[in-house]
Amino acid sequence: MSSNSKPIRLGIVGLSARGGWAASAHVPALSHHSLQSTFTLSALQASSASSASAAKEKYAASWPSSDGLEVTAYHGDDASELCNDPSVEVVAVTIKAPDHKAVVDKAIAAGKHIFIEYPPGRTLAESEQMRADVMKNGNIQAMVGLQGVHSAALRKVKKILDSGKIGRVISTTVVANIAREFRFYGPEAVDQNIYAQDRANGATMLSIVIAHQLSSLIHLLGPFASISSIASKQYPTTKIYSIKEPQKLVRSIAANSPDHFVFAGALKSGAQASVTWRSGYKSVPGRKNLLWIIDGEEGCVKFEVDDGPSQTGATPFGATPFINLADPTITVNGQPLDEYLTTEGIEWEEDAALVVEKHEKGTFVEFVRREWVEFGKSLRGGQGEFATLDDAIEVQKVVDAVERSAQLGGLGIKLI
């Protein structure tokens, strides 16, 4: 690892000049002036030689090297060369979930530190094998992209819960909707997301979207002890539209994963949890895309996302329920979150190492930048707070239990 006086050298697998998650989230987070002395881009890998060359040219201008070295551009499906590049110290895996393990295996074999988007493996078993391989090496640190837990708002809620101000938490309730207009999952999806419609790829609504919200729930309230679930396909057919021509129907496919989930269980703390997620309802006035309530004996925390442009993270067709991408509206006993903190005399001081521009606050850029700030602390021998493979596996165990219980007609599954 570089000395503390030199930036940590990154190799990013899945960085494209055409956009994508790495370009829209990690580049703005990492290229910010506050992190330029901590991380620098050393190598990137894209799908083709032309794409890799274009990405190198683009990011050489917008994210200049902090150590004066030229960025190496790799291409293709095999990440062996990037992982074995001696100038790369951390391999960031930002490609689609089905392809994670092949790259992670090569990074582990090369002894590199790793960042992996969630889910680390397509299945719980794949993720557990990754963890075993990392532990066997003994010198590798791995961070998983569960960035929702890095929201300042969520951290404030955790401080309130830990203070005991709302008393013992007895129950929590989640009701959420992935609006049809998003075209992420059935009954309508764009061709770019067709891989996510196949449950074998580990990128379904349950595997990705619900899992990210579960990560935040577990972060605040602790792990599940048991789960019972039901699931259904309310939309047996999914229409696939062109992302370039939104009105153009490319084809229709049979849905092979549920679009509705209802599950409940006990948390280790003894609190009860009830969660409902649906996909496919149209955005209409008055329909909430997210309502999450945490009820304590002495108070209540409420997370809400209404349909409409007033919300953080709003799109032309409504507001996102994905709290790993944007903060919802949060109230405590009816008061706005920050107002409640002031009223109750709960002090909040942000980490000086995290610099967030006004337009980035409450967005995934803030969340992703914080996770890299924390990972940087740990890589340099300090104490960093970030999602690990252990945290990811805790979430995947719940996802796995929800799926198994639904297949068994709602049979309860013990997790602890």
Q: Is 261 among the domain residues?
A: yes
**DSSP assignment string, 353-400:** T----GGGTTBHHHHHHHHHHHHHHHHTTS------HHHHHHHHHHHH
Specify the number of domains making up the chain. Answer: 2
Show the low-confidence residues of the chain (pLDDT under 50).
309-318
What's the pLDDT at 169? 98
Domain at 297, CATH number: 3.30.360.10
Structural domain that includes position 57: 8-140
Per-residue model confidence (pLDDT) at position 248: 96
Assess whether 66 and 158 both reside in one domain.
no
Query: Global pTM?
Result: 0.94
Q: Would you state the pLDDT for residue 316?
A: 42
Indicate if 197 and 247 belong to the same structural domain: yes
Q: Is 81:88 a contact under the CB 8 Å cutoff?
A: no
Among the candidates 96, 118, 140, a domain finishes at 140
State how far Cα 116 lies from the chain centre.
10
Q: Is residue 98 part of a domain?
A: yes
Strands 300-306 and 260-266, by their bridges, are unpaired
Residue 413 lies in a domain: no
Q: Is residue 278 part of a domain?
A: yes
Strand positions, DSSP E, 258-326:
260-266, 272-279, 288-296, 300-306, 314-315, 318-319
Kindly state whether residue 69 falls inside one of the protein's structural domains.
Answer: yes
Residue tagged 């229709």 (tokens): 252
- 178 and 291 share one domain: yes
Q: Are residues 15 and 40 in the same domain?
A: yes
pLDDT digits (tens, 9 = 90+) for 95-148: 999 999 999 999 999 999 999 999 999 999 999 999 999 999 999 999 999 999
User: Which of these three, 118, 140, 162, is where a domain ends?
Assistant: 140
Last residue of a domain, one of 140, 165, 198: 140
Which pLDDT tens digit goes with each residue over 16-64?
998 899 999 999 999 999 999 999 999 999 999 999 999 999 998 878 7
Rounded CA-CA distance 123/90 in Å is 24
